[in-house]
C-alpha cells in the first residue's frame, strides 16, 4: 500500500512522519486515493491528544500521494502484545478509557472508524501506564448527508476478527456500536492474549461471530476481576440493542467491571517518572533540553494532567498574539482577498492591521479549515527568528481550551520578490471583550462575574508556573460561543518576541501603580487589571479616579462584590489577592455566579 518515512520539517526543525501511497491509478480499487484524502480531513476534525496529528497532505509531481503526520515514538498495541503477552488490568483500563474517548468525539461528529484493532493503536510510552494514539481513519464512514460512500457494494472493509456481526454482513451497516464491538475484542485480547472468535479464515470467523459463544476470560487467565465476564457478554452481544449505547458508557462500565484492578493501576502508575520541577519546565520552554530528555518529559506529560496544565500555561505566554476580528477598517497589507499564500491558504480578508504586520481570515485549502494568518516584519533578525522557531516548536504542542493553537510558520517568497513571513494558527471566531462592551455597554452582574471567573481560571494556570500576564485588558480577552450557547473566554497571552506590539498607550490605564513606576511586578498586576476590567463590565466604563483608587460608584454594587474589586485594585500590591483561585472563590461566594450566556 505504501511506505512511511521519517522526515524533518525545515522551518520548525521538527521530525515528522510522511506516509507515501502510489498513484491510485495503479490499484484495482479506484477509491484508494479518495480514502487517503479523507483520512487527512477526518483525522484533523477530531481534536484529541490521542489522535495522531496531521500536518499536511498532497501529491508529488509523479502522482504519489503523501500525508505528513506526527512522528510517534512507540509501538503498536499488536507489537506490544506479541512482545509481552497479556497486559495488566491497569493498562487495559488506560487503553479503554483513551480509545473510547477518541471514539466518543468521532461519533459525535458522525464518524465511524470501522477498523479499530491493536495494529491501529500506538502506545507511546514504554514505562508506566500506556498512552494511546489512534491511527488510520482511511476506512472511516461519515454520516453527513453530503458524504460520499467510498465502499463498493459487497466490499468487506475492516478486519474480520474485530468486526461486529452487522459489519460482517455489510460494511455499509457499520455504526458507532461496531467500533465499540471492535474495541471490546481488542480489550479481550489485551487481557487474555487471545481473540474471542478465532478461525483460520475470514469466513470461519464470520460463522463463529454469528453462531458460537466465546470462552470466558477466566479460562485463559485467572485472577481477573469477576465483573469482567458479564461486561464482555454485554459488549459482545450479537444484538446491537443489547450492547453499550455510547463510548462513554462503554468506558465507565469497563472501569467499574475491573473493580479490584484499581490497586494494580496505582502500582503501575508509580513507575511513571516524578512530576516536572521548575527547572525542567523553564528548560523545556527555553528549548535547552536534549532530544532524549524531551522524549522522557513528553511521555510523562501524556499521562500527567497537572504537569500538562502547568506547561501549557508556561508555553501560552509565548504563543502567538491572538486578536479578535476588529470592526475598524484595515489596509490589506501584503495579501489581498483571493490570494493563495504558500499554495495552500486562500486569503478571505484582512481583519486587522497590527503595528508589525497584518491579521487575515483565510481558508486552508488542503484541510478545508478556517485559519488565521499573521504576517511578520519584512526584515527579521536571525536570532529573533531562531527564538520564534523555538517558541513555535513548543507552542504547537499546546492543546488547551484557553490557548489558540499554532499550526505552522512559512518563510514565503511572493512572485514579486518581496519576502513575507507569516504564521498560520487557529481562527478565533468571536469578538473581544472590548468589542462586546462597545456594543452592549454595562453587562448584568451575574454575566460579568461569570466571565471574570473564567479569566481568573486562565490566570491561575499561568501564575502556578510563575508567569505574569502583565498586559491584561479587554482587547486581550476573546469571547466565543460554546456548543450550548454559553460564552467561552480565551485569554490572549503574551506575544512571541517577533510579534510584540510596542504600542502600549491604550494599555496604561490597566496597569498597576508599580508598573507605571517601573518597579518590580508580580501576580498582583494581573489582579489589578482584573479589577479595572470588572468595573468596565459592570458599569460600561472605567470607574477609577485619578489617584488609581476605587470611585464612589462602586458603592452601588453589592458589598461582597465591592470588597472583591477593592481588593483587586489596592494600591499596595501586598494587599491584593495573591492567588487567582482565591479570587475566583471569593467571586463565587458573592452569589451572582452563573454561566456566561450569549449576549447576542
What are residue 359's phi and psi, to 5 degrees? Answer: -115, 130
Among residues 11, 5, 123, 3, the alpha carbon closest in space to that of 411 is found at 11
Active site (annotated) includes residue 115? yes
d(CA 426, CA 365): 14
Q: How far is CA 8 from the centre of its chain?
A: 23
Cα separation, 544 vs 531, in Å, equals 10
H or E, element range at 300: helix 291-303
Q: In what order do the strands lie in the sheet with 431-432?
A: 431-432, 477-481, 487-491
Q: What is the spatial distance between Cα 435 and Cα 544, in angstroms, rounded to a whole number?
A: 21
How far apart CA 408 and CA 373 sit, in angstroms, is 10
Strand pairing class (141-142; 340-341)? unpaired
Q: Which helix (H) or strand (E) holds 364?
A: strand 357-364
Give the C-alpha separation, 48 to 57, whole Å: 19
DSSP per-residue codes, 345-383: EEEEEEEEEETTEEEEEEEETTTTEEEEEEEPPSS--HH
Q: Which of 29, 34, 73, 115 is catalytic?
A: 115
> Could you tell me which residues come within 8 angstroms of residue 482 by beta carbon, excluding any fewer than 6 positions away?
488
Q: Kindly report the number of other CB atoms within 10 A of residue 319's CB atom.
A: 26
CB 432 within 8 A of CB 361: no
Q: What phi and psi, each to the nearest 5 degrees, are found at residue 253?
A: -70, -30
Q: In the block, which residue shows the cell 461569570? A: 450
3-state secondary structure of 317: coil
3-state secondary structure of 177: helix
CA 14 from centroid of its chain's CA atoms: 19
> Are the C-beta atoms of residues 596 and 454 closer than 8 Å to each other?
yes
Could you give the CA distance from residue 130 to residue 94 in angstroms, rounded to a whole number?
7
**Phi, psi dihedral angles at 139 (to 5 degrees):** -100, 5
What is the helix (H) or strand (E) element at residue 82, kind and residue range?
helix 77-84
- Are residues 570 and 578 in contact, defined by beta-carbon separation less than 8 angstroms? no
The answer to whether 313 touches 467, Cβ cutoff 8 Å, is yes
Contact 569, 539 (CB under 8 A): no
3-state secondary structure of 158: coil
* Residues belonging to the active site: 115
Amino acid at each position: 500500500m505504501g511506505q512511511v518515512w521519517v522526515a524533518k520539517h525545515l522551518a520548525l526543525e521538527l521530525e515528522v512522519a510522511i506516509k507515501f501511497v502510489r498513484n491510485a491509478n495503479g490499484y484495482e480499487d479506484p477509491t484508494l486515493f479518495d480514502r487517503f484524502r479523507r483520512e487527512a480531513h477526518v483525522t484533523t476534525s477530531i481534536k484529541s491528544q490521542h489522535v495522531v496529528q496531521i500536518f499536511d497532505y498532497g501529491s508529488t509531481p509523479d502522482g504519489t500521494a503523501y500525508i505528513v503526520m506526527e512522528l510517534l515514538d512507540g509501538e503498536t498495541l499488536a507489537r506490544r502484545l506479541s512482545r509481552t503477552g497479556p497486559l495488566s488490568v491497569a493498562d487495559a483500563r488506560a487503553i479503554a478509557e483513551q480509545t473510547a474517548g477518541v471514539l466518543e468525539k468521532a461519533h459525535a461528529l458522525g464518524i465511524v472508524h470501522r477498523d479499530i484493532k491493536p495494529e491501529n493503536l500506538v502506545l507511546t510510552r514504554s514505562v508506566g501506564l500506556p498512552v494511546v494514539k489512534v491511527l488510520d481513519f482511511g476506512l472511516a464512514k461519515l454520516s453527513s448527508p453530503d458524504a460520499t460512500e467510498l465502499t463498493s457494494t459487497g466490499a468487506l472493509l475492516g478486519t474480520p476478527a474485530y468486526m461486529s456481526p452487522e459489519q460482517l454482513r455489510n460494511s455499509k451497516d457499520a455504526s458507532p456500536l461496531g467500533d465499540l464491538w471492535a474495541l471490546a475484542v481488542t480489550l479481550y485480547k489485551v487481557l487474555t492474549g487471545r481473540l474471542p472468535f478465532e478461525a483460520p479464515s475470514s469466513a470461519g470467523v464470520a460463522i463463529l461471530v454469528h453462531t458460537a459463544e466465546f470462552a470466558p476470560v477466566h479460562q485463559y487467565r485467572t485472577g481477573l476481576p469477576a465483573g469482567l465476564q458479564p461486561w464482555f457478554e454485554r459488549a459482545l452481544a450479537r444484538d446491537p440493542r443489547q450492547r453499550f449505547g455510547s463510548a462513554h458508557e462503554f468506558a465507565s462500565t469497563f472501569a467499574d467491571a475491573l473493580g479490584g484492578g484499581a490497586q494494580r493501576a496505582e502500582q503501575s502508575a508509580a513507575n511513571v517518572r516524578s512530576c516536572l520541577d521548575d527547572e525542567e519546565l523553564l528548560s523545556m520552554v527555553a528549548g535547552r533540553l536534549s532530544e532524549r530528555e524531551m522524549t522522557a518529559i513528553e511521555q510523562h506529560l501524556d499521562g500527567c494532567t497537572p504537569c500538562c496544565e502547568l506547561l501549557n500555561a508556561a508555553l501560552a505566554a509565548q504563543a502567538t498574539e491572538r486578536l479578535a476580528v476588529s470592526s475598524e477598517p484595515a489596509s490589506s497589507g501584503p495579501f489581498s482577498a483571493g490570494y493563495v499564500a504558500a499554495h495552500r491558504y486562500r486569503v478571505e480578508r484582512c481583519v486587522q492591521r497590527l503595528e508589525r504586520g497584518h491579521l487575515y481570515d483565510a481558508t486552508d485549502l488542503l484541510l478545508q479549515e478556517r485559519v488565521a494568518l499573521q504576517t511578520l516584519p519584512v526584515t527579521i533578525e536571525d536570532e529573533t527568528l531562531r527564538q520564534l522557531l523555538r517558541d513555535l516548536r513548543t507552542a504547537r504542542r499546546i492543546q488547551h481550551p484557553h490557548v489558540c493553537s499554532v499550526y505552522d510558520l512559512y518563510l514565503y517568497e511572493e512572485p514579486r520578490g518581496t519576502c513575507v513571513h507569516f504564521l498560520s494558527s487557529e481562527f478565533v471566531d468571536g469578538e473581544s471583550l472590548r468589542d462586546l462592551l462597545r456594543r452592549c455597554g454595562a453587562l448584568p452582574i451575574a454575566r460579568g462575574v461569570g466571565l471574570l471567573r473564567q479569566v481568573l481560571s486562565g490566570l491561575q494556570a499561568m501564575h502556578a508556573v510563575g508567569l505574569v500576564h502583565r498586559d491584561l485588558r479587554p482587547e486581550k480577552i476573546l469571547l466565543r460561543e460554546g456548543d450550548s450557547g454559553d460564552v467561552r473566554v480565551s485569554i490572549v497571552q503574551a506575544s512571541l518576541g517577533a510579534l510584540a506590539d510596542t504600542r502600549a498607550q491604550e494599555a496604561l490605564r490597566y496597569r498597576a501603580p508599580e508598573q507605571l513606576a517601573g518597579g518590580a511586578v508580580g501576580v498582583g498586576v494581573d489582579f489589578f487589571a482584573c479589577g479595572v476590567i470588572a468595573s468596565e463590565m459592570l458599569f460600561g466604563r472605567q470607574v477609577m479616579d485619578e489617584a488609581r483608587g476605587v470611585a464612589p460608584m462602586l458603592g452601588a454594587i453589592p458589598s461582597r462584590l465591592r470588597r472583591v474589586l477593592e481588593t483587586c485594585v489596592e494600591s499596595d500590591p501586598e494587599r491584593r489577592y495573591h492567588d487567582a483561585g482565591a479570587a475566583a472563590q471569593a467571586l463565587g461566594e458573592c452569589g451572582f455566579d452563573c454561566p456566561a450566556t450569549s449576549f447576542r
